[in-house]
Structure 1
């Protein structure tokens, strides 16, 4: 049976691959991105977030079967917090009423192995308090402190959205409403976001040293798309609040058995 999905970050990378896969299976996909999408807008702004909700409501005729909050950026700057965390929250919470109209609603988001990397406690608190102004202020301070601290804008954005998802998924609003909510956490994906690194010897060496992926190495966006397609399918009835590391073994290699 054909379903209607909305995917943010649909113009490239994992979002594009997922959109194409779902369409090839006969589903309708409403894509959202900065440009070249059904809905063009900037999720780093309140206006862009509201536009997404308004346009999605119109294009879906008020009903969605699945939402994939995939849009994200990797800059060591505060704008990353605005897109990856506050933009993702606005997407999932703003479109949840449309999911409630579906007989089998599903939702998923893109996290990252960066959620395992060092974070800044002050920034994490601002994010968890939904203090966007405070988060941006702290993010700017980290940017000024040097490369390793500036990177925490990215790692914190992914850790915070993963923590929100874990808390929200079993709640009355999501599980109680019959909506499985989960996340994928990729490692190195060959996409526009990583092309500058993978296309030069120094970048490749850096990735190989910092992000070991013993199972088959770096992956194409299509591999993540297949996982997303299952997460938002009717077949997924009981997976709830899981961050699934699709990472070639990076999580298991670096964290060992700590999950137990």
Structure 2
């Protein structure tokens, strides 16, 4: 895969008639964009296309498969993120990648290949309860891996709504807000009615019987009367953190 500088050099050579168009096209076609490992076809050009490298979803993969994909991505990615990784799998990964870091609550593995400058603007991650923190940490860590400042505000659900009001100024200072809630999922609507920032709502599977594994919270968030709310899938902290990062960088202009 050619870097931006290499592409510019190639195009300059064509412009100066140092090489022909057909020769340049052949060089581009020969560049590797996929690394076929047999069990996985690693997308090596995703960061160039989308601004972010491929993320490894660890659930359902063996430690050996994760290690193989990390090895492939290391040559092309700034930071490598692997979600939904058990401590047992990480112990095996760390033997091969000793610099990899494990975040137990988020169940994520992070390998820093190149430090990314932090944004000046902030993403606020807000939870209804302590039980929602695992999903919130996945969201917060995802955002941090991609260079965002994150402010965590946990356990401020509607059952004790005065706790939320104590942190309202902090939340309003954020450029993007992620609200993580289970049970009936009402916190997203409450926060959405109090701020003028984009809000990403994350329903969690936390709750008793009629929570239906997060479906009740999901439906509440989808039917919110507060404007400006975007809803991701149940327990999808990664998706919320990724989307919030894109929004935050888009505003700041700090990421291509």
> What TM-score, normalized to structure 1?
0.39
Higher helix share: 1
> What TM-score, normalized to structure 2?
0.40
Higher strand share: 2
Identify the structure with bigger relative contact order (alpha carbons < 8 Å, sequence gap 6+): 1
Q: Which has the larger radius of gyration?
A: 2
